[in-house]
Amino acid sequence: MSTIARASRSIVKAVLSKEQAEGVGARVRRSIGRPELRNHDPFLMLDEFNVDKNGGFPDHPHRGFETVTYMLEGQFQHEDFAGHKGTIGPGDLQWMTAGRGIVHSEMPVKSQTRAHGLQLWINLPKEHKMCEPQYQELLDKEIKRANPQEGVEVKVIAGESHGVQSQVYTRTPTMYLDYKMDKNKSVVQSIPASYTGFIYMLKGKAYIGDKAFEGLAHHTLTFSEDGAETIKIETRDEDAHFVVIAGEPLKEPIVQHGPFVMNTKEEIYNTFVDYQYGQNGFERARNWKSSIAA
């Protein structure tokens, strides 16, 4: 085995997710999508959201990418113009492919004090940007776990970890792993050589790579792109909770305007026209209003 294959990826940038207002009465900690990390191909945005029962994200459109909502606390309702409606709670996952067009609403369940979770935006390759919308939903109990050692649990949301494979279908090849590690543990996670990736720290401290870069809560830590096929992660005097996210870069032009992400300015213009006139995927948006945002 070569030296490169054995070496761990290193951390090249740490971005603090600063809190900002978003939606209606919602607070998000955004990392990817900020000026310091505009995007991280194929990833467009990462928010750690906190929404109280009176806040939320009422009816809004998307085209050209996927939104992945992973709940940590509380419950979120969702509803779209195609008649899809449901609720996800702690540990549950919704993987929504917006494709050619969706209008939906995401609102906290009113009986909850707050809804806390992560939302990731994943770009779609040009050939899939105008596909039909699709949802994949998994309850916490349906998401497979890997236990590489005592005191280390990995929820395999997408991709593979320590021989455990997710059932989620990803149009853009993606791995999404939720790690909980007790203190004084060390683990090596495999990552395909061509993938870009990052760790988002939720709680505690972790030490990453051969140089043991210190990862702190609410920071996004981007990996080196050096062909190494592993990332080494260890804890010392405290537990840690974080996600490891990586994917195949698309290496295509990105033109983003709010909730629409295409490859050219002309495609963005056409998307605004389609949404305004309710055509080419937005036909059902004309007279639709969600019931949960009322």
Please state the residue numbers annotated as binding site. Answer: 60, 62, 104, 106
171-186: burial string, b at 16+ Cβ within 10 Å, e else: bbebbbbbbbbeeebe
Cα separation, 34 vs 55, in Å, equals 22
Helix (H) or strand (E) holding 6: helix 3-6
Please say whether the beta carbons of 102 and 80 come within 8 A: yes
Binding residues for Fe cation: 60, 62, 104, 106
State the DSSP code for 190. Answer: E
Alpha carbon of 259 to those of 5, 101, 104, 215, 268: distances in Å?
A: 38, 10, 12, 30, 10
Helix (H, G, I), strand (E, B) or coil at 215: strand
